Amino acid sequence: MEEKLNRLKEILGEVADLNQAASLIGWDQQTYMPEGAAATRGQQAATLGKIAHQMFTSDEVGKLLDDLLPWAEGQDQDGENYRLVKVAKRDFDQATRVPGSFIVRQSQAVAVANQAWVEARSKSEFSHFLSHLEVIVDLAREYVTFFPPAEHPYDTLLDAYEPGMKTAEVQAIFNTLRPQQVELIRAIAARPQVDDSFLHLDYPEQAQLDFSLKVAREYGYDLRRGRQDKAPHPFCSSFGMDDVRITTRVNTKFLNTCLFGTMHETGHALYEQGIGHTWARTPLASGASSAIHESQSRLWENLVGRSRPYWERYFPELQKTFPSQLGNVTVDQFYKAINKVQPSLIRVEADEATYNLHIMLRLELEIAMLEGSVALKDLPVLWNAKMQDYLGLTPPNDAQGVLQDVHWSWAYFGYFPTYALGNLVSAQLWEKFRATNPDLDDQIRNGDFSSLLSWLRVKIHQYGRKYEPQELVQRVTKSKIDPAPYVRYLQTKFSDIYGL
């Protein structure tokens, strides 16, 4: 079997090389590619993707996996060989269950739907997108039929982003979390609002970029194996654990955009740079799931980067960088300003206390769409009603309401829950680490993040996709994904800030 295992690894390595090359040209497309090269770049990406898909779904790979799986199941089930074969088999089954003709139809529908969404959003008229969304939802239902029956049809969509996670689990978590977050937001709304006007002054671009890169480096981001560039929408791209790049964007009238966007993407990059080299050029050389990845970005952005100890250390340096803007601001005023809670219409602008409610709203509507329990034409009204119920706001138009996210036009059903789940996992990990490191605040005040990063490397990063998300969280915290630590974190933090 060793010869077959080596042959499988050889093919998987070549597939990984092709996919990473495709990711590299995708990174370039978002950063430095000249506008006129879009069509050529699209052809290049399609060719690389086609070759990688053909190699991975070949009869040879299928036969190798069929031969190796019984053997691997007789090995140590926590060992490298078993986990590699198991994950490769899962990916192979997902890639081969969906007919090529369906992929073509879905790709064509998404291309048209995305253009329709752009137009509908610009005009703020959901009706322009409705017929395209109907096609996308029908395709999502058809996609589910290619897989074995699940407890709920949404399980199949969710599984693509959160392996092994069930819709019922997510609903139970959110049903526990929702009323507590709504109660907290209402309590905050009754208190005097903090002043964050000084965050909206003029902050020169290069100074923001320089400071944010310093933040990333001090967190532990290895610039020998990474770099930061600008992009319209911040992202992290990995071309192997030795080439992990981040991008950020700058708003010269709002300090938070670049600063916390960089912290967020650095969290993703630290994860990718920490994956064990034993998984190089295999399907396991990435994060365990979307939620686990998001837990890393939110931990470094919020639990570290928006903490009081962090700014007790770094605010004097920020003041020196922007003396006219922040010279008369105290560290306490700054800390409260960057943690201001204010329900907003737009998800990507939401604060820590309100963000998850945006996700819950979307999940409920996605499930209803898939089940056919709502008429799609009624989505704007349903959206607005849930916004009012959860956040006390009613969108004035479709652009700021049901049309604000691009995900549905891309057929990304099942993705939204991972954003909120990542928040919950970040607090679970934070609470677990703090329990054995009671001097964590002092470490942060001293600008020492080495113990935290080392712990995350050992407990999370090194494993890549070796464990499914719930399995990984339980190994580290002795519990599956649990909203309680996140609720405790929010209540403690915002009771202090708003005097609840």
pLDDT tier, 103 (very low <50, low <70, confident <90, very high otherwise): confident
Q: Is residue 129 part of a domain?
A: no
Same domain, 407 and 332: yes
> CA–CA separation, 473 vs 176, rounded Å?
19
Q: What percent of the chain has pLDDT over 90?
A: 90
User: Is the confidence at residue 41, as pLDDT, over 90?
Assistant: no
Looking at 97, 114, 136, the residue that finishes a domain is: 97
Average pLDDT over residues 459-473: 97
User: Is the confidence at residue 39, as pLDDT, over 90?
Assistant: no
Q: Is residue 448 part of a domain?
A: yes
Average pLDDT over residues 161-181: 95
- Cα separations (Å) of 360 from 4, 124, 290, 366? 45, 23, 16, 10
Same domain, 345 and 447: yes
What pLDDT does residue 348 have? 81
CA dihedral 25, 26, 31, 34 (to 10 degrees): 60
User: Is the confidence at residue 484, as pLDDT, over 90?
Assistant: yes
> CA–CA separation, 43 vs 24, rounded Å?
14
Average pLDDT over residues 243-260: 96
Look up the domain containing 36 and give its range.
1-97
What pLDDT does residue 244 have? 98
Q: What share of the chain is helix, strand, coil (3-state, %, to 5)?
A: 70, 0, 30
Which of the pair, 37 or 140, is modelled with greater confidence? 140
Q: Which of 265, 294, 301, 468 is catalytic?
A: 265
Same domain, 265 and 344: yes
Q: Is residue 493 part of a domain?
A: yes
Q: What are the residues whose beta carbons fall under 8 Å from the beta carbon of 156, sequence distance 6 or more?
A: 143, 144, 147, 150
Q: Is residue 124 part of a domain?
A: no
pTM of the model: 0.94
**Would residue 14 show up in a list of annotated catalytic residues for this protein?**
no
AA letter at 322: F
User: Is the confidence at residue 226, as pLDDT, over 90?
Assistant: yes
Contact 92, 60 (CB under 8 A): no
pLDDT tens-digit map of 391-429: 999 999 999 999 999 899 989 999 999 999 999 999 999
pLDDT tens-digit map of 118-153: 899 999 999 999 999 999 999 999 999 999 999 999
Average pLDDT over residues 254-258: 95
pLDDT tier, 265 (very low <50, low <70, confident <90, very high otherwise): very high
User: Is the confidence at residue 219, as pLDDT, over 90?
Assistant: yes
Mapped onto helix, strand or coil, the DSSP state of residue 241 is coil
Q: Is residue 120 part of a domain?
A: no
Mapped onto helix, strand or coil, the DSSP state of residue 494 is helix
Report the number of distinct structural domains present in the chain: 2
Average pLDDT over residues 159-171: 95
Q: Is residue 377 part of a domain?
A: yes
Any idea what DSSP says for residue 225? S
Residue 255: name the closest of 216, 294, 205 by CA. 205
Q: What is the mean pLDDT of the chain?
A: 95
Bridge partners, 244 (sequence order) = 238
What pLDDT does residue 346 have? 87
Q: Is residue 328 part of a domain?
A: yes
Q: Is residue 146 part of a domain?
A: no
Contact 395, 268 (CB under 8 A): no
pLDDT tier, 43 (very low <50, low <70, confident <90, very high otherwise): confident
Same domain, 156 and 62: no
Contact 453, 445 (CB under 8 A): no
What pLDDT does residue 491 have? 96
pLDDT tens-digit map of 343-377: 999 888 889 999 999 999 999 999 999 999 999 99
What pLDDT does residue 104 have? 84
